[in-house]
Amino acid sequence: MVRKAVKRWEDNQITGIGRRNARTSFYKDSQKRMSLNGQWAFLYLDAPELSPEGFEQPGPQEGWDQIDVPSVWQLRGYDRMHYTDVLYPFPINPPYVPDENPTGIYKRTICLDEAWLEKDTVLKFHGVDSAFDVWVNGIHAGFGKVSRLPSEFDITELVKAGVNDLTVRVYKWSDGTYLEDQDMWWMSGIFRDVELINEEKNAILDVQVDGTLDDSYQTGLFTARITGKQPLKQAAWKLSYRGEMVASGEAFAKEAQICVNAELRDVHPWTAETPELYEFTVSTGTQEVTVRCGFRRIEIKDDNFRINGQVILLNGVNHHDYNPTEGRTVTREQMEADIRLMKQYNINAVRCSHYPANEYFYDLCDAYGLYVINEADLECHGFEWVENYTWITDDPAWEAMYVDRSVRMVQRDRNHPSIIMWSMGNESAFGCNFKSAAKAIRTLDDTRLIHYEGDFEAEVTDVYSTMYTRLKGLKEIAEYEVKGNKPHVMCEYGHAMGNGPGGLKAYQDMYRKYKRLQGGFLWEWYDHGIYTEEDGEIYYKYGGNYGDFPTNGNFCIDGILMPDRTPSPGMEEYKQIIAPVDITGVEGSMRKICISNDYDFLDLDAVTLHWEVVAEDVAIQEGWITDLAVAPHDSTVLTLPIAPFELQANTDYYINLTVCQKEDSLFAPAGHEIKKVQIPMQIRRDEFSVREAADPLRVSDRAGILTVENSLVKARFSTVFGKLLSFGTEDRDYLTEGPRMNVYRATIDNDMYKKEDWMNKYFLQKPVEETAYVNWEEEADRTVVRIGTYFSCYNQSWGFSCDYTYEIYSCGQMRVELQGKAVQRGKLEPEFFPRIGITMKADRKLQNTMWYGMGPGESYVDSKAASVMGIYKNTVDGMMTNYVFPQENGHREQVKWFRIGDGWDGLLCKMKAPLGLNLANYTDESLEQAQHPFAIEKADDVIIHLDYLHSGLGSNSCGEEQLEENKVKLQDFALAFTLQTVTDGSEIREARKQYIS
């Protein structure tokens, strides 16, 4: 049975009651305002029908609690936490919602004096989730919907001098909830600011400004429409740039709206790279307001969208409002910190996903310089799962709800030059209601583009938008005019869940290759973990940790910024990939470089270049180049002023290049790193060398244990199990278990669609290495132990025939070589392996690390742009990346040697050819089993992984798999390294002497 809608919060024909039309926000306003943020009385109920009689009337609130405004009540101990990506946590029966509809009643008093009452009173809510009623002094003042847009109510006739009672009843579920099914926690309450405005009787209600450019892109064309509550008889106006007035005048009108026009020659255009702002001020005698304006022109020309005539590339990120302790309540300080960090990481665009942000957010984007796709608060993704995706999207009965969300967004935010596109929503199919919304937007504003990914045929949108498109699909879009010739944008890609995303360079290369592809927006900015402190442990909860079901678990932990605001390795990678300056070496020259300017508007005289020549990790020459006059989209060849010097034959040499910001900016000081590049000058060929012989080796074979030893070295082998048991000295075992082959890694989030096969079909976590032979030869200064094994996993017909060779020298060194030959006896094998390599164990006390390889942070074959070759120090724990959801982490590519120790006492490992390195205080098995970092069981040893090959990361949690060239296939392999104990660091000092002297 379908019920008749009798409740305001279940009536899709109501978009609001008593609510004013949306209007632009002012940058400055002389009118008095009163913040209503703070402590309110609060009563939580399981349903609105359970509200106590007379709750809306003034009076004491006995038994009520206190709650912060703004806040979400789930993070104040009420209701239950619940995360879903797509699913509605109730039956789909629009516009109806469950009878169990958590409700919060808020109450407070407001004291107003007689002077206040001489003017009007407007009550403004900046954000309430999901619908609410308002009473003032017991009288109903209005009803609001759309969680992430303001609602204003004129309550002049309801207030009095003295104490006034304000009551707000908020409903968790409403018909609007069907349009607010975004991928995020379900949170409720008054989560943005509340304020009173003491409004003039003849107030300026709205100021709409538009700054565009003529065909020369040099002359600014300014228009303004000033709307008053009453006819504005006269208003003085001025337009200023950096405090200097550039135009002014007086306007007269008999109607409520005044129009102003001005033309400015040699205007300073607004772009994300040059965020030049003007201020437009209007004075009426009783009120003065200021709005900011930027002169820029958005157009589509020759199949590209352009800013000020220039084709631009969007290097963007999707941004949710989020705080790990406050949920959707974010402060101005956090908003600014987010935007400052985006700019520092070369991000030039942000998509407000999937709802309008706080008004202040756009002021910041204007000032700092970010291109914005502003998105309506609209997503009804859950309908896709019932195979009726267009249920309400193509139902005219819902037209008002759809159009209202787009219209109010445009009416509020139209003055911001940073906004270049209006997006009608996200993942809601396509139908008549989006056609109506697009028409309404164009009626209000024809200066910007319209975006909506769900318009799969690009029928009403100005850009063709897709999400998580694979590289093959992108190429087809670019080459074959898929969906016509509209410019293309990836509104979501590079899903940043856990360790990743990998493969970003392949996307960026594609964007730069094909003009039609104008960039994209990484998903997403911030991990949505909930800060938790329990039993002395700090960690971050995700879906399912509160008993919420159904849930998408840690799918909300998918940002490049970790909950504690630590930039992830993926964020470091993205910064380098999208950097607006690129440098490559010139073939045949060790001093010439090609520097490319990928800025759209800035000349490279805005940056400086620091160069240094390093011998492994020691700088032997360095300097600065400050004159880089390279035009946008141009390049030049420079000759670095490197003085002649002799390259030592046994030393690696690199040129390290760092592009830095020349002057202070709003987001970073002078010297801020924009891009770093390393160019090899000479790479040595590593050869094995043996130190001077010492006393002879003694060899014994007792009870299946083969021991090779003297005063400097001791190595023990099992002749039964065919493995090295330990390596060290007669006093100490540094290696507590020798190499065993390994093809498994603790799965990362981007392995989620491979995990089932890897673990339950191929059983990669269940290795078996069977002994084929063990023999040894004794020589004067060395003993050679050879072990043959066959490696595979449970119930598998594929495997590896392995030959281990151990050469133990009397000087204390041991050379290890492993040759593996792939064996395939059947047709079934994994499409690819996580890795091919070996695992060893070392004394748990060896916690200090040093390595020569890529660093300082983790690196993988498809995510290493932020790493350069060098010698780095850390601890074993310090090499770990502490992902919210534990998974493979901490790998370093191209390692030539590493050392672990306590003090100078330790173990040194030198590779014949570079290998991948991972050092950890836990096993892959414990990492796989843990759900949070504190639950990772510590191992009794240091776990050492040396990888011949390690598969890439990809972004297949939602997007592209690892590229074929980054997948480790069943194949032959060989690796070799030398182990030796060190007690005073002499080996490392000796290695450096060759270029320090």
- Summarised one tens digit per residue, pLDDT across range 829-862 is 999 999 999 999 999 999 999 999 999 999 999 9
CB 47 within 8 A of CB 103: yes
Please determine, for residue 997, whether its predicted confidence score (pLDDT) is greater than 60: no
pTM: 0.96
What is the domain partition of the chain in residue ranges? 32-199, 309-576, 580-682, 698-996
Place of tokens 């029908």: 49
Identify the bridge partners of residue 978 per DSSP, sorted by sequence position: 815, 910
Phi first, then psi: what are they for 589, rounded to 5°? -135, 140
For residue range 36-65, list pLDDT tens digits in order: 999 999 999 999 999 999 999 999 999 999
Q: Looking at the annotation, which residues are catalytic? A: 427, 492
For residue range 743-756, list pLDDT tens digits in order: 999 999 999 999 99
Residue 987: per-residue pLDDT: 60
- Number of CB atoms found within 10 A of residue 570's CB: 27
For residue range 365-406, list pLDDT tens digits in order: 999 999 999 999 999 999 999 999 999 999 999 999 999 999
| Two structure tokens written together for 830 | 């994994």
CB 231 within 8 A of CB 254: yes
How long a stretch of residues is the chain?
Answer: 997
pLDDT band for position 418 (cuts 50, 70, 90): very high
Establish whether domains 32-199 and 309-576 are of one fold.
Answer: no
What is 309-576's CATH superfamily?
Glycosidases (3.20.20.80)
Phi first, then psi: what are they for 993, rounded to 5°? -60, -35
Q: Which of 945, 976, 850, 864 is nearest to 904 (CA)?
A: 850
What is 580-682's CATH superfamily?
Immunoglobulins (2.60.40.10)
Instruction: Work out the average pLDDT over 892-909.
Output: 95
Residue 312: per-residue pLDDT: 98
Decide: residue 856, CB within 10 A, 0-12 exposed, 13-18 middle, 19+ buried.
middle
For residue range 96-148, list pLDDT tens digits in order: 999 999 999 999 999 999 999 999 999 999 999 999 999 999 999 999 999 99
Q: Which of 510, 575, 502, 571 is nearest to 950 (CA)?
A: 502
Please determine, for residue 993, whether its predicted confidence score (pLDDT) is greater than 50: no
The one-letter code for the residue type at 887 is Q
Compute the mean pLDDT over every residue in the chain, rounded to the nearest whole number. 96
Residue 986: per-residue pLDDT: 61
For residues 227 and 415, give the distance between their C-alpha atoms in angstroms, rounded to a whole number. 14
- Could you give the angle at the alpha carbon of 462 between the alpha carbons of 457 and 464, nearest 5°? 45
Q: Which of 519, 543, 902, 513 is nearest to 734 (CA)?
A: 902
Identify the bridge partners of residue 701 per DSSP, sorted by sequence position: 706
For residue range 30-42, list pLDDT tens digits in order: 999 999 999 999 9
Classified as helix, coil or strand, 510 is helix
Q: Which of 541, 535, 467 is nearest to 507 (CA)?
A: 467
For residue range 652-668, list pLDDT tens digits in order: 999 999 999 999 999 99
For residues 777 and 90, give the distance between their C-alpha atoms in angstroms, rounded to a whole number. 73
For residues 502 and 178, give the distance between their C-alpha atoms in angstroms, rounded to a whole number. 34
| Two structure tokens written together for 361 | 């957010």
CB 848 within 8 A of CB 879: no
pLDDT band for position 988 (cuts 50, 70, 90): low
Instruction: Work out the average pLDDT over 527-556.
Output: 98
For residues 588 and 594, give the distance between their C-alpha atoms in angstroms, rounded to a whole number. 13
Q: Which of 543, 470, 528 is nearest to 958 (CA)?
A: 470
Residue 995: per-residue pLDDT: 37
For residue range 748-805, list pLDDT tens digits in order: 999 999 999 999 999 999 999 999 999 999 998 999 999 999 999 999 999 999 999 9
In the chain, what is the straight-line distance between the N-terminal and C-terminal CA atoms, in Å? Answer: 89
Dihedral sign of CA atoms 5, 10, 13, 15 in order:
positive
Residue 994: per-residue pLDDT: 41
Place of tokens 């869940």: 497
Please determine, for residue 985, whether its predicted confidence score (pLDDT) is greater than 90: no
CB 214 within 8 A of CB 265: no
CB 635 within 8 A of CB 586: no
For residue range 434-456, list pLDDT tens digits in order: 999 999 999 999 999 999 999 99
Place of tokens 């619940």: 82
The one-letter code for the residue type at 696 is P
For residues 409 and 372, give the distance between their C-alpha atoms in angstroms, rounded to a whole number. 13
For residues 179 and 146, give the distance between their C-alpha atoms in angstroms, rounded to a whole number. 9
Identify the bridge partners of residue 43 per DSSP, sorted by sequence position: 105
Chain centroid to Cα 859, Å, comes to 17
The CATH number of the domain covering residues in 32-199: 2.60.120.260
The answer as to CATH 3.40.50.10170 being correct for domain 698-996 is: no
**R_g of the chain, CA atoms, integer Å:** 33
Identify the bridge partners of residue 648 per DSSP, sorted by sequence position: none
For residue range 911-969, list pLDDT tens digits in order: 999 999 999 999 999 999 999 999 999 999 999 999 999 999 999 999 999 999 999 99
pLDDT band for position 825 (cuts 50, 70, 90): confident
Classified as helix, coil or strand, 209 is strand
